[in-house]
């Protein structure tokens, strides 16, 4: 395969990886804040289940002492493109340094398992609502005076 195409695919994988990270971080902040503020979307079942499932995959990979499969794909694509030293654009190299920390895998395992447990606690404290049940369970916030 063309090295330029492999490089583009690696950048796409990185972009997707950043999107997954942002989705996870957003959920960790938005769920408790949304429960407090009365935001209905934080109880949407499919969104919460996806958030919990993605964090479970991340935690499981770390516990099994495995690097994230997106990281592995990006690395393999970069190697296939013949890139050893980073010839990435400046913003891409910043993103790489931001999300790929030079720490041992046990640190990430503990961090990700802790985050997943936090998400389970949020599931219990701010339970999602199955479709069709939203109006009956989640009260509307009274208008501010």
What percent of the chain is predicted at pLDDT more than 90? 48
Mean pLDDT of 72-77: 88
> Which 8-state DSSP code applies to residue 129?
B
- Phi–psi pair at 129, nearest 5 degrees: -120, 130
pTM of the model: 0.77
Q: Please report the pLDDT score of residue 102 as a whole number.
A: 76
Q: Please report the pLDDT score of residue 135 as a whole number.
A: 53
What tokens appear for 73 in the block? 């794909």
**Rounded distance between C-alpha atoms, residue 11 and residue 88, angstroms:** 9
Nearest in space to 68 (alpha carbons), one of 99, 22, 43: 99
């Amino acid at each position: 395969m063309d090295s330029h195409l492999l490089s583009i695919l690696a950048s796409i994988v990185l972009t997707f990886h950043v999107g997954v990270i942002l989705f996870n971080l957003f959920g960790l902040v938005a769920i408790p804040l949304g429960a407090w503020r009365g935001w209905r979307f934080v109880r949407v079942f499919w969104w919460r289940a996806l958030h919990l499932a993605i964090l479970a995959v991340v935690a499981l990979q770390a516990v099994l002492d495995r690097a994230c499969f997106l990281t592995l794909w990006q690395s393999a694509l970069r190697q296939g493109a013949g890139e050893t030293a980073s010839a990435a654009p400046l913003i891409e190299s910043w993103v790489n340094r931001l999300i790929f920390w030079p720490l041992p895998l046990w640190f990430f395992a503990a961090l990700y398992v802790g985050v997943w447990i936090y998400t389970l606690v949020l599931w219990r404290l701010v339970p999602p609502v199955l479709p069709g049940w939203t109006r009956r369970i989640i009260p509307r916030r009274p208008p501010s005076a």
